[in-house]
Structure 1
């Protein structure tokens, strides 16, 4: 499989990238971003790109891939809706349209989050915008899969970019074993998220919108690599 990853330098994306590089069936990983990952791997290539609303200049380099794992995102804290919408709606839709134009079979796996609302009735701005994004992506392709994780434990040595998240994960991550036993349907890891995406690419998923419990079940169903 050939995989494209967006957001590979973030807390979630680092785990997803690691899952791809560990999987023997993944022959090629292309990371698209503004910041280098710092990773060196024989199956990893990086494409620097600045304008995430327009992929015309690099469209030829995005052709021929089997899946896109879209992990790019930002916190809504302190953001007005227009600015948040650019990152959380315009960016992923531009990427999906560019990729599907050259690879109609491509699986598009998008990370939104627990609480995302596709009905448009919520008062939470971020949940409504991400719900609109999910709906638009699902309309674009029958091979679109939405991932709504709740609490995500990062890979050891990685951390979130948002300061408030750094503190939260510093406090809660040591409790992961306990949380996994007490509330398993709300806890996953960035690595399991990546493994679930790989499984969705290979064999599809029971639903196109997956909450944490579904993500963990899908990851557990993966063949050993």
Structure 2
């Protein structure tokens, strides 16, 4: 399978990228970044896109892919609702629309958040906008669109971009809350399996990702 990954210079995107490069069923990975990454791998190629809302000059490089794993994003801390919405909703949807046009058989996976608000009416700003983005993606002309909501993810040893708090929490969180903890291998294994076989829910919670990943391991 051939996949596109965005946000690979961020913490979660980097972890998913590294796990994807190790996955035997993933043959080619195109990372679409706003800035260059030093990472090199035989499976990996890179496309620098400064503005995700303007893909016209890059269309020739974005066709022929089976899936996009959209991990680009930003923290809402200190941001106005208007600015956060522009980055999280507007930019994501424009990017996704262009991919859907170029790859109508593509399966799109969106990195959301555990408490994303699908009703779009809650009091938490970031959760409303994440939920709005999830809902809008489901309306696009992809083969399928899924939003995955991971909780705490155990950092990989090879990761360069890991916040200090995660380095501390990885020592205790998985033992205190194993059902709310994922590994990057679990996430990538689950997404790869869904890409091949589909799934009956568009929202992938922690328990869904764990179940699918375990099911995939049992079939090897």
Q: Same fold by TM (over 0.5)? A: yes
TM-score by length of 2: 0.92
The 5 A counterparts of 1:94-113 are: 94-113=94-113
Q: 2:207 aligns to what?
A: 213
Say which is worse superposed, 21-30 or 58-67, in terms of deviation: 21-30
Q: Which residue of the other structure, out of 209, 216, 220, is the alignment partner of 1:222?
A: 216
Q: Which residue of the other structure, out of 195, 199, 202, is the alignment partner of 1:201?
A: 195
Say which is worse superposed, 136-145 or 124-133, in terms of deviation: 136-145
SS for the counterpart of 2:172 is: helix
- Whole-angstrom distance in 2 between the partners of 1:98 and 1:40: 27
Q: What is the CA-CA distance between 1:60 and the residue it aligns to?
A: 1.6
Q: Is the 8 A contact 2:35 2:50 kept in 1?
A: no
Q: 2:169 aligns to what?
A: 172
- Whole-angstrom distance in 2 between the partners of 1:77 and 1:160: 19
Q: What is the CA-CA distance between 1:160 and the residue it aligns to?
A: 5.1
Structure 1 segments unaligned to the other structure (5+ residues)? none
Deviations 1:44-96 (A, max 9, x none): 10001101111111012100100000011111111111111121112211121
Q: 2:6 aligns to what?
A: 6
Q: Is the 8 A contact 1:16 1:195 kept in 2?
A: no
| Greater RCO structure (CA 8 Å; 6+ sep) | 1
Q: 1:145 aligns to what?
A: 146
SS for the counterpart of 2:156 is: coil
- Whole-angstrom distance in 1 between the partners of 2:12 and 2:215: 21
Q: Is the 8 A contact 2:16 2:184 kept in 1?
A: yes
The 5 A counterparts of 1:14-93 are: 14-93=14-93
- Whole-angstrom distance in 1 between the partners of 2:136 and 2:174: 36
- Whole-angstrom distance in 2 between the partners of 1:192 and 1:126: 26
- Whole-angstrom distance in 2 between the partners of 1:54 and 1:218: 35
- Whole-angstrom distance in 2 between the partners of 1:81 and 1:154: 30
TM-score by length of 1: 0.90
Over the residues paired in the alignment, what is the CA RMSD in angstroms?
Answer: 1.8
- Whole-angstrom distance in 1 between the partners of 2:7 and 2:52: 11
Q: What is the CA-CA distance between 1:171 and the residue it aligns to?
A: 2.6
